[in-house]
Amino acid sequence: MDSIDAGIVEFSRIGDYVWNDTNADGVQNFGENGLAGVTVQLIDKLTNNVQRTFSTGTNGQYSFDKFMPGQYFVKYILPTDYKFTSANVGNDFTDSDVDGSNGPGTTAITYLSPGEDDRSWDAGAYKCAVVSGDVWYDLNKDGIYQDIENGINGLSIYLIDISSNAIVDVSITGPKPNTASDDGFYIFSCVKPGTYYVRFDRHRSCRKCTIPRN
């Protein structure tokens, strides 16, 4: 009696590239290098379980192979001080696919058929820039912040994109972290690469205060 059967399915494969998007335009441009130290996870859509984990090397490449066909998405965990660039800009082989549709740092769901080798899943990230400074009562009007002069708290500071004139972020002056009494401090801790200017709103009690230009 012949009743012993065997089914065979060809494994799938997925992967590609994580890069440092230095101009934060969402496109893999010439001269932009791979980003090392990014943890990449392949997640099964049906179970939400992590199937494989990979850490990118200096070339920024990653690959998952020899797994069963099905529905999956990819999750990327960036190094500290990096943020994901814009998703789905341009064609599928030079864009970033991290749209957050399955949680922070994730791609959309894709169905991988038997034998499929999909090398179009990329992630772009840029390193945060930091803009910070102080606002103070310049008692002697010399433009230099001195120990005898007090910082101004509660002042609104605006970071503005020079090309669109749009307000990108707002910071309120206050005590400087990890100091005893340094007031008037503001910070924009993660600024996307670009060209900006800072606008200071004068405090209502400070009509002749010096406002720093840096």
| Better-predicted residue by pLDDT, 142 or 46 | 46
- The verdict on residue 212 lying in a domain is no
**Do 122 and 171 lie in a common domain?**
no
Residues 33 and 19 sit within 8 Å (Cβ to Cβ): yes
Domain boundary (107, 126, 145) is at 126
pLDDT of residue 205: 46
User: Which two three-digit tokens encode residue 102?
Assistant: 């399955």
Q: What is the CATH number of the domain that holds 34?
A: 2.60.40.10
Q: Does residue 143 lie within any of the structural domains?
A: yes
Beta strand segments in the chain, E:
12-20, 39-44, 50-55, 61-67, 70-77, 82-84, 110-112, 117-127, 129-134, 156-161, 167-172, 185-191, 196-200
pLDDT exceeding 90 applies to what percent of the chain? 75
Cβ atoms of 212 and 133 within 8 Å: the answer is: yes
For the chain, how many structural domains are there in total?
A: 2
121 in the same domain as 19: yes
Looking at the structure, do residues 118 and 16 belong to the same domain, yes or no? yes
Amino acid at position 160, single letter: I
Same domain, 110 and 135: no
pLDDT value of position 10: 92
> Per-residue pLDDT tens for 190-214?
999 999 999 998 655 444 444 443 3
Q: Specify whether 98 is located in the same domain as 25.
A: yes
The answer to whether the beta carbons of residues 98 and 76 sit under 8 Å apart is: yes
pLDDT digits (tens, 9 = 90+) for 162-192: 999 999 999 999 998 877 667 899 999 999 9
DSSP type of residue 103: B
Residue 145: band (very low, low, confident or very high) from pLDDT cuts 50, 70, 90 = confident
Per-residue pLDDT, averaged over 141-162, amounts to 90
Q: Which of 32-41, 107-116, 196-205 has the lowest mean pLDDT?
A: 196-205
pTM to 2 decimal places = 0.81
Residue 141 structural domain: 129-200
Domain boundary among 69, 93, 126: 126
Same domain, 38 and 100: yes
